[in-house]
Amino acid sequence: MRTAVGLTNGRFFLFTGFRQLSPPVYNPGMASLFQKLKTLVRATLHDLADQAIQKSDLAVYDDYIRQAERELERFRRTIAPMIAQVSTTKRRRGLLADKAAKLDYMVDEFLRQGKQTEAMVSQKQLMSTLELIETYDSSLERQVEAAERLEDVRVKLEGRLAIAKQEREELAFLLQLAKAKEVSTKAMRSLDSLMGYGDSEVSRAAENIRRRLDHADAAWEVEASGLDNQLDDAMHSLEVETELAARMERLGI
């Protein structure tokens, strides 16, 4: 959001915006984290279910869930400080806007009192403050956009994990049922194989799971198609904006 400056009854006014974030904390391990997330994103629940059925064991499916939980938690911790900084910055931006308004008032007062030198000094301070607002807002706008993209990724990953956990229970029931029915090893190849098995209860359970997983995977394919670019773009934005913020701090801006 850029800061707009205008005049009302001869007075300056500012539209609400943000002030520059203090240099965000960039995690050098973010690249590896994103790579792990991408690997998890590309996995399909149907394939994981078939692997579990082939081995008559949920270990591979449970391992996926554990990895997803671990990396998702790392992801939450990584983006949390940046999300929190945005809220803090809104308050700081309000203080900067107040300062600009006071300087604007002082310029008018000094002019009314015939204090040209004081009015000139205050005017320069006001112009400098407004320039800083625009500089900060321009940088922060990109940081906020990156944060929003990462937050969107978080929501999508949490939804995917919730589905995986839910279907894990159904898959466990199917494996227990197959064991109780003494389904042959030959039939324990995939969900499709169990759907063609002679026992109607086993076939129905397998069909229900496959239908839900295929629906979830199809929906996820649409979501995941843009996640790679979303993660890459957000990471690049954070790297660039972090460098700019650090440079501004060194320059005392």
Asked whether residue 37 carries a pLDDT value surpassing 50, the answer given is yes
Residue 183's pLDDT band, with cuts at 50, 70 and 90, is: confident
Residue 5: strand pairing partners: 14
Per-chain mean pLDDT for the chain? 78
* Pair 82, 24: CB distance under 8 Å: yes
Asked whether residue 31 carries a pLDDT value surpassing 60, the answer given is yes
State the Cα–Cα distance between residues 194 and 56, nearest whole angstrom.
Answer: 12
- In this structure, the dihedral spanned by the alpha carbons of residues 175, 179, 185 and 187, taken in order and rounded to 10 degrees, is -60
Least confident of 52-61, 205-214, 232-241: 232-241
State the Cα–Cα distance between residues 30 and 231, nearest whole angstrom.
Answer: 10
State the Cα–Cα distance between residues 222 and 224, nearest whole angstrom.
Answer: 6
Average pLDDT over residues 238-243: 62
Helix (H, G, I), strand (E, B) or coil at 10: coil
Helix (H, G, I), strand (E, B) or coil at 13: strand
Those residues with Cβ within 8 angstroms of residue 250's Cβ, 6 or more apart along the chain or in another chain: none
In this predicted model, what pLDDT tens digit does every residue of 217-227 receive, in sequence order? 888 887 777 77
Percent of the chain whose pLDDT exceeds 70? 77
In this predicted model, what pLDDT tens digit does every residue of 43-82 receive, in sequence order? 889 999 999 998 888 999 999 999 999 989 988 888 787 7
Q: What is the pTM of this model?
A: 0.67
Asked whether residue 247 carries a pLDDT value surpassing 60, the answer given is yes
DSSP letter at 122 equals: H
